[in-house]
Amino acid sequence: MILEVRAVAPFYKNGFVVGCERTHEAVVIDPGDEADQLLAAVRDRGVDVTHILLTHAHIDHITGVAQVKDALDVPVCLHRDDLPLYEHAVEQGKMFGFAVRQPPPIDVYYDLSPIYFGDYEVRVHHTPGHCPGGVCLEIGKRGRGEGGRGSGKGERGSGEGGSSEGRHLFVGDTLFAGSIGRTDLPGGNYEVLMRSITDVLFHLGDTSIVHPGHGPDTTIGRERETNPFVLEYLSSA
């Protein structure tokens, strides 16, 4: 898998280019103020971007959508429950004292069907709590885990560790290395967030690699065992 990560001031929000090493098809995830750097990575790696995928519509994750859409002219995808946030991008910017360009209309609302690029597939899991339309974008090789998800065959039998090998989770601001997303912004809800983390993300397997919207990578296993916010929630449940 081709993976390029960029983050710049003031938000140091991670933007990603994820591509197929064989076909060079790729997706751009959460283009923000680092849009120039992401577009440079697209050129340098020679990838052909098919979608702009958004984990959610907080301002730091969408300030670069207009620029990337202008440059690449590919569909922009978002969960429908974050449309109000997305449509108020300019107002969100004002809250932080930034002049923000209104992003282009959403082309695709996530549903249950996967999105494909090259040999890879993106499965979308709704993980509200940090905001209403937050999602986890699960990226892995196409067709992997088939039968595991639907019928419960294979994947369960081989154990969670083995089955999640090579699985990458782009979780937005739901879960961080050693921390969790804030829930004090409009539409945030602590209980809902903790259920998204423990009921949705944790079922994607301990070896799944987590790429948060800010800060370093981690794994589901590490967060399950050491994340103080998770441990506190689980001990009080």
Q: Which residue, 50 or 196, is less far from Zn ion as judged by CB?
A: 196
188 secondary structure, DSSP code: -
Stretch that binds Zn ion, among 19-27, 187-195, 197-205, 212-220 (CB under 5 A): 212-220
Q: Which residue, 60 or 121, is less far from Zn ion as judged by CB?
A: 60
Judged by CB under 5 A, the residue of 15, 118, 145, 213 near Zn ion is 213
Q: How far is the CB of 209 from Zn ion (least distance, A)?
A: 19
How far does CA 147 lie from the centroid of its chain?
Answer: 24
Report DSSP letters for 1-31, one per residue. -EEEEE--TTTTB-EEEEE-TTT-EEEEE--
- Residue reference for tokens 């983390």: 197
- A 10 A CB-CB count for 183 gives 16
Closest residue (Cβ) to Zn ion? 58
In 3D, which of 185, 187, 175 has the Cα closest to residue 213?
175
Q: In one letter, which amino acid is 105?
A: P
Instruction: Tell me: does residue 58 bind Zn ion (CB under 5 A).
Output: yes
Q: Which residue, 153 or 182, is less far from Zn ion as judged by CB?
A: 182
Q: Which residue, 25 or 130, is less far from Zn ion as judged by CB?
A: 130
Residues 8 and 173: their CA atoms lie apart, in Å, by: 16
Build a one-symbol-per-residue string for 16-45: x at contacts with Zn ion by CB under 5 A, - elsewhere.
Answer: ------------------------------
Extract the tokens encoding 185.
């912004």
Stretch that binds Zn ion, among 7-15, 30-38, 74-82, 196-204 (CB under 5 A): 7-15
Q: How far is the CB of 163 from Zn ion (least distance, A)?
A: 29
Site size toward Zn ion (CB under 5 A) is 5
Q: How far is the CB of 71 from Zn ion (least distance, A)?
A: 22
Which phi and psi (to 5°) does residue 177 adopt?
-65, 110
Q: How far is the CB of 210 from Zn ion (least distance, A)?
A: 15
Q: Which residue, 116 or 190, is less far from Zn ion as judged by CB?
A: 190
Q: Which residue, 63 or 208, is less far from Zn ion as judged by CB?
A: 63
Q: Which residue, 4 or 173, is less far from Zn ion as judged by CB?
A: 173
Q: For the chain, where are the alpha helices, taking DSSP H only?
A: 35-45, 65-72, 83-87, 89-95, 148-151, 159-163, 190-195, 220-226, 228-236
Rounded-to-10 torsion of CA 231, 180, 189, 130: -150
Provide the binding-site residues for Zn ion, judged by CB under 5 A. Answer: 13, 58, 60, 173, 213
